Amino acid sequence: MHDRIVKRLDEISNIYDVRILYACESGSRAWGFASRDSDFDVRFIYLRKKEWYLSIDLDQKPEVIELPIVDELDINGWDLRKALRLFQKSNPPLLEWLSSPIVYKEETTIIKKLKDLVPKSYSPISCMYHYYKMARNNFREYLKGDQVRLKKYLYVLRPVLAVLYLEKGIGPVPMEFSMLVDTIVKGHALRKSINDLLVRKMAGDELDMGPRDPVLSAFLEYQLARLADQDFGKQIQRCPVEILNGLFLEALEQDH
């Protein structure tokens, strides 16, 4: 599948006349709890030729390449300009891409320099707010009744643990779910509930509707109530735009 993905990325590069600077896995396979039938969620950052950007209608041109899901392959990409703007805002999905343990392509020093910038320039407050909103919304939508969508526990647990990780001041959130659990979860009962859910998910068990897990629900309800009182309106740190402009120009000057 790795070879197939790389081949597909090469095809996309030729069809759209772009240079793919970086491509990685971004979903449950990178988080570490994929089941046998999970999609491959491939995300990439690309650059077009210099002439594309030297135009008066640049703001009207597409900045994404979005492709339909075919045979478990979910592949989408962002233009480097879009990625750099989101990087300046500490966009958590982009930061996760840059820390993915599964990389399909990385053919430029620009991405390495961007990765090196993350610890010095990301905004913990901005990231915490993003993960809190994700957890709150998923909890409200999927985990409020007596019967809940069990696999959605993972999609609330991960952002809640991400907030707790950021609160510790350790650094940017790691993509691997196991690292979050090992760092944050200390209680035996909670860890057992998480591990049991992971085993079932990765074994391909049908995790659709079922009774609420009292341990997981109590933990999530407590943390979400606590976080609801937090002040996420503090000054948000941003990476200086001059640095990111420099990276963009450097990328344009490299051979296409």
The DSSP symbol for 58 reads: G
For 222, other C-beta atoms within 10 Å of its C-beta total 11
Name the 3-class secondary structure at 178.
helix
SS3 of 114-129: the string is: HHHHHHHHCCHHHHHH
Q: What is the pLDDT of residues 57-90, one digit of tens each?
A: 999 999 999 999 998 999 999 999 999 999 999 9
As a whole number, mean pLDDT of residues 234-256 equals 87
Confidence of residue 255 (pLDDT cuts 50, 70, 90): low
Within the chain, where are the H helices? Answer: 2-16, 28-31, 50-53, 80-88, 92-98, 109-121, 124-142, 152-167, 177-184, 188-202, 214-228, 241-253
Residue 123 has pLDDT above 60, yes or no: yes
Q: What is the pLDDT of residues 130-146, one digit of tens each?
A: 999 999 999 999 998 88
pLDDT value, residue 206: 60
pLDDT value, residue 6: 97
Q: Which residues pair with 74 in a beta bridge?
A: 41
Q: What is the pLDDT of residues 82-122, one digit of tens each?
A: 999 999 999 999 999 999 999 999 988 999 999 999 999 99
Could you give the count of Cα atoms lying within 13 Å of 96 in the half-sphere of its Cβ? 22
| Percentage of residues of the chain with pLDDT beyond 90 | 81
**Sign, CA torsion 216/138/101/33:** positive
Report the alpha-carbon distance of residue 49 to residue 172 in Å, rounded: 32
Instruction: Give the torsion through C-alpha atoms of 102, 104, 108, 114, to 10 deg.
Output: -30
Confidence of residue 215 (pLDDT cuts 50, 70, 90): very high
Q: Which residues, 6+ apart, have CB-to-CB distance to 98 below 8 Å? A: 22, 111, 114, 115, 118
pTM tops 0.85: yes
pLDDT value, residue 31: 94
pLDDT value, residue 171: 93
Minimum mean pLDDT range among 5-19, 71-85, 226-240: 226-240
Residue 256 has pLDDT above 70, yes or no: no
As a whole number, mean pLDDT of residues 179-183 equals 96
Q: Which residue has the tokens 């996309």?
A: 12
Q: Which residues, 6+ apart, have CB-to-CB distance to 198 below 8 Å? A: 33, 154, 177
Q: State the chain's mean pLDDT as an integer.
A: 93
